[in-house]
């Protein structure tokens, strides 16, 4: 007797993502851009803290992390939105 394979486990049963309509794409893009803006605000606050506390020069590098992440998120969202 051959072992039975559940249909949800077989490679043929892989679910392909459905294409998003224009409203869903716009909502996801705006959500990602808002998150990126909040990361930029966080980075700005860390930079401001670093300016007031010169004994912690590593804070400038820490402040750059959310800025860089936010910039990448914003750029990727804009790229995907304009290419969709």
Residues 23-61: tens digit of each pLDDT: 888 999 999 999 999 999 999 999 999 999 889 889 989
In the prediction, which pLDDT does 76 show? 95
Mean pLDDT of 65-78: 95
In the prediction, which pLDDT does 25 show? 87
Question: Do 24 and 31 meet the contact criterion of CB atoms below 8 Å apart?
Answer: no
Give CA–CA dist 60/37, Å, rounded: 18
Reported pTM: 0.70
């Amino acid at each position: 007797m051959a072992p039975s394979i559940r249909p949800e486990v077989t490679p043929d049963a892989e679910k392909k993502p459905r294409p998003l309509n224009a409203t869903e794409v716009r909502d996801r893009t705006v959500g990602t851009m808002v998150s990126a803006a909040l990361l930029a605000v966080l980075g700005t606050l860390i930079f401001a803290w670093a300016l007031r506390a010169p004994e912690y020069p590593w804070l400038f590098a820490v402040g750059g992390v959310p800025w860089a992440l936010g910039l990448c998120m914003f750029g990727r969202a804009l790229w995907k939105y304009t290419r969709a």
